[in-house]
Amino acid sequence: MRLKEVERQFLSEEEIQTMLEKELHTNRLEQVRYIFIFCCFTGLAYSDVKKLSKDNLVFGIDGDKWIKTKRTKTDTRSNIPLLPTALGIIKKYENHPEAVTKEVLLPVCSVSSVFSGSV
């Protein structure tokens, strides 16, 4: 078995800011943007964010909020500090009907519905 090294590309602060400032004309696209930004600020995959619940939010020994979860792809535990941007996104969607109904942290739509426009 060989370990394949992957070189990751990162978005610059300016690129993220441009995405945040972009005016979008539908709630669906705005929601997708914020979930993507949340992924950027936590390092979590879309599939991992989709399964997060309020039970995954904990206070760390530093007194700040963290996410404790088990990663879908690797089946490994992760402890992720929540930066202010990610916390703001959680706050923005804490009372979203889909998040409340499904008892998830964020209203993450399926990838197919994003591209089909059915969200």
b/e per residue, 79-116, with b = 16+ CB within 10 A? ebebeeebeebbeebeeeeebeeeebbbbbeeeeebee
**pTM for the whole thing?**
0.83
pLDDT digits (tens, 9 = 90+) for 22-54: 999 888 899 999 999 999 999 999 989 999 999
Q: Which pLDDT does position 115 carry in this prediction?
A: 53
- pLDDT higher than threshold 70 for residue 20: yes
Q: Which pLDDT does position 84 carry in this prediction?
A: 95
- pLDDT higher than threshold 60 for residue 86: yes
Question: Is residue 104 a contact partner of residue 53, using CB atoms and an 8 Å limit?
Answer: yes
111 residue type, one letter: V
